[in-house]
Amino acid sequence: MTIVGNAACSFEPVPDWPQIPADVEMLEAVGVAIDSRDRVYVFNRSNRPVLVFSADGEYLDGWGDGLFVRPHGIWIDKDDSLLLVDDMGHNVRRFSADGDLLQTIGPSGEPSPTNIDGMDFRTISHGAPPYNMPTNIVADSAGDLFITDGYGNARVHHFTVAGEYVTSWGEPGDGPGQFNVPHGLGIDAEDRLYVADRENSRVQIMSRAGELLEEWTDVVRPCEVYVAADGLVYVAELGRRSGLFGWEQPDPLSPGSRMSVFNTDGKLLARWGGGDDPASPTDFYSLHDVQLDSVGNLYTAEVSASASLNATQPSTGCPTLRKFVRRK
């Protein structure tokens, strides 16, 4: 039996999960989310953007052809509706579980002006309104929505559950409350937001009003944060061996992609991966998302295709979607 983590928090990898039909291409799973019945929804950059699996890995459904420019972030709300973030489409929309469009949150289709040159976040001159390549979304206990905006902006946007714009905060930079690629975010039982400030290699913990409460720096290019029901905080780290911008060089001496588990006080409880053998069941190549189901099993999504464009090693043999069964 292969076990990852440690005595405080351990998991067993599930090989060959899930079962993908021959007519479904899974180029790369960019996001994963779990509904109230523990069905697994995968946001997929391919011919069928939304894939649905049972907890056992059985393929149940797929939809979304032609609806997205480039899938990026996914969140399932309390009513099992899907909140889907399309970064290159510059939009955030709510869909039913069957793929019916229910709501468009904010503007759609046109990037807001931040002066970014291509994908170079260093050229962003100022924070702007929604959206310029948004990345991820969460809902708080009241149903209000918080969106990281992301590749072409440097802000978090707040909308009501009805889709009404409330406010935004953040500017480009590495100071307190500033962001360089706010890529993902989690939310805890107290409605504190955990912003994965990826290119600053930190997690900024903030109030719903944008007040900086705490900063964690024992992470390397975090892509996403998920706060489980038991209060454990899972951070999917991309590392510095893959998924780099064109002006950066991979660093084989720096950590590769890994999973880190903290408590809400920021104490590191478990960590595995690091990129030394990313095709193995116990390592990672390019972690991009993480979620847990109702019994504590863990699911991860990796951008193995796009992250290999500037990397220390190719992604050959590296899965894009994984499951780990909770053991302790």
Residues 6+ apart with CB under 8 A from 204: 176, 177, 179, 194, 195, 197, 212, 214, 215
Pair of tokens at residue 110: 């046109």
Distance CA(135)–CA(62), nearest Å, equals: 22
Residues 6+ apart with CB under 8 A from 187: 138, 139, 140, 146, 193, 194, 227
The residue ranges of every structural domain in the chain are: 4-326
Distance CA(302)–CA(29), nearest Å, equals: 6
Half-sphere exposure of 304 (CA within 13 A, CB side): 23
Distance CA(325)–CA(238), nearest Å, equals: 22
Distance CA(90)–CA(70), nearest Å, equals: 9
Mean per-residue pLDDT of the chain? 96
Tens digits of per-residue pLDDT, 21-56? 999 999 899 999 999 999 999 999 998 999 999 999
Does the pTM surpass 0.75? The reply is yes
pLDDT of residue 328: 86
CB of 301 within 8 A of CB of 271?
A: no
pLDDT of 309 over the 90 cut? no
Pair of tokens at residue 264: 């809400």
Sign (positive or negative) of CA dihedral 291, 74, 44, 304: negative
Indicate the SS3 state at residue 206: strand
Tens digits of per-residue pLDDT, 205-234? 999 999 999 999 999 999 999 999 999 999
Distance CA(95)–CA(137), nearest Å, equals: 14
- Any idea which residue has 């464009």 for tokens? 309
Distance CA(202)–CA(220), nearest Å, equals: 7
For residue 106, the 8-state DSSP code is S
Per-position b or e across 14-37, b if 16+ CB within 10 A of its CB: beebbebeeeeebebbbbbbbbee
Superfamily of domain 4-326, CATH level 4: TolB, C-terminal domain (2.120.10.30)
pLDDT of residue 310: 85
Sign (positive or negative) of CA dihedral 260, 261, 265, 267: negative
For residue 120, the 8-state DSSP code is B
pLDDT of 1 over the 90 cut? no
